[in-house]
Amino acid sequence: MSKHAPKSSSEFEYIKWIRSELPPASPNLEVGPGDDCAIMRTQVDRQALKIDTTIEGKHFVLAEKGKKLPAVLGPAATPEEVGRKAITRCLSDMAAMGATPSAALVSCTLHTGAPVNLREEVFLGIAKTCATYGVTLAGGDTQGWDGPLSISVAMTGTMEGVRPALRAGAAPGDVIAITGSLGGSILGKHLRFEPRIAEGRFLAERGVSAMIDISDGLSGDLTRICEESGLRFAVGADIAAEAVPVSKSARRLAKLEGEGAERALHHALHDGEDFELLFIVKPNRWKKIVTEWPFDVPIRALGMMRQLKKGEPLVRILRKGEPEALEVMSWVHQL
């Protein structure tokens, strides 16, 4: 190791340091840390690899009698919803690469002395979700300790001859588009979202330039696409305020806060855990995708990628055609 880890507690700064200090990789590693999944070449195909951890008090809160729930974590989760979320978080990353998920290993760390019904329902949430999405539950590990409930999922997927959709690849003139609507997921969608697996596969098959699932928020995840694509040439993004699909939940959350449409837009731009797909695509391919789109979930163009000039912000929001810098206010994990 040639450098020390950064003093910043930001997850993204830590990941940047890790990527700069990695030891030599296997020649079969096509895509390493920094994207939604890693990609390994095999003798017959590419394999997508993903690991993610879902932690009580950070990604969900369990209801306990007489315990007041922190509003920031939304409604209480049932144990079955916790098991489901642990699997679907990985499934969403598979979707963002265009991969078909195949198998999972699950490590579950329970509270010491956890009641039987909690242990049972967490497993049922995991098992039912794997069955629903055609994922083989290949094994794992179970432990008990005095800390919070934690579930780690390692998942594999196959590309079946399709080129993976990476975060890098956006170019000036490309269309910025999204599935579904955004914001207010804390009111319940963060526990019950549908990973866009079929949609991600469809988009990868049609050669999108770049793709990411919105787990941290639109402003942050679009910034990451600009940063990763900028390794080839400098690109920025312009999105129109009126094009951002503000969800009913975002409007409801704004109303609960005593605010109006501008606050609802804020939630759509910056809230995390929507798990919709943000993708970048050439204009001619965008027209083909719109024409052939077979899914119930809607898609919408938000704006265009642009050549980044010195001094310009990576992401701008256009209000009545006038650009202004879009501040990144989405979620950043602290270490």
In whole angstroms, how far apart are CA 101 and each of 87, 130, 161, 189, 290? 11, 10, 14, 22, 25
What is residue 28's predicted lDDT score, i.e. its pLDDT? Answer: 81
What is residue 147's predicted lDDT score, i.e. its pLDDT? Answer: 92
Task: Say what percent of the chain tops pLDDT 90.
Answer: 69
What is residue 22's predicted lDDT score, i.e. its pLDDT? Answer: 66
Residues near 286 by beta carbon (within 8 Å), at least 6 away in sequence: 175, 177, 301
Residue 20 CA, chain-centre distance (Å), reads 23
The C-alpha atoms of residue 243 and residue 245 are separated, in whole angstroms, by 6
For residues 195 and 97, is the Cβ–Cβ distance under 8 A?
A: no
As a CATH number, domain 175-325 is 3.90.650.10
Low-confidence ranges of the chain (pLDDT < 50): 1, 65
The C-alpha atoms of residue 191 and residue 275 are separated, in whole angstroms, by 11
Range(s) of the chain covered by CATH 3.30.1330.10:
35-158
Tokens encoding 315: 């992401």
Range(s) of the chain covered by CATH 3.90.650.10:
175-325
- Kindly report the number of other CB atoms within 10 A of residue 97's CB atom: 30
Q: What single string gives the DSSP state of each residue in 246-288?
A: B-HHHHHHHHHTT--HHHHHHHHHH-----PEEEEE-HHHHHH
What is residue 324's predicted lDDT score, i.e. its pLDDT? Answer: 96
For residues 178 and 279, is the Cβ–Cβ distance under 8 A?
A: yes
Q: What is the mean pLDDT of the chain?
A: 90
The C-alpha atoms of residue 9 and residue 44 are separated, in whole angstroms, by 41
For residues 174 and 238, is the Cβ–Cβ distance under 8 A?
A: no
Per-residue pLDDT tens over the stretch 285-333 = 999 999 999 999 999 999 999 999 999 999 999 998 899 999 998 766 6
> Which residues face 307 on adjacent strands?
235
Identify the architecture of domain 35-158 in CATH: 2-Layer Sandwich (3.30)
- Radius of gyration (Cα) for the chain, nearest Å? 20
What is residue 1's predicted lDDT score, i.e. its pLDDT? Answer: 44
The C-alpha atoms of residue 171 and residue 281 are separated, in whole angstroms, by 9
pTM of the model: 0.88
* Residue 108: half-sphere exposure toward Cβ, Cα within 13 Å: 25
Tokens encoding 68: 């007041």
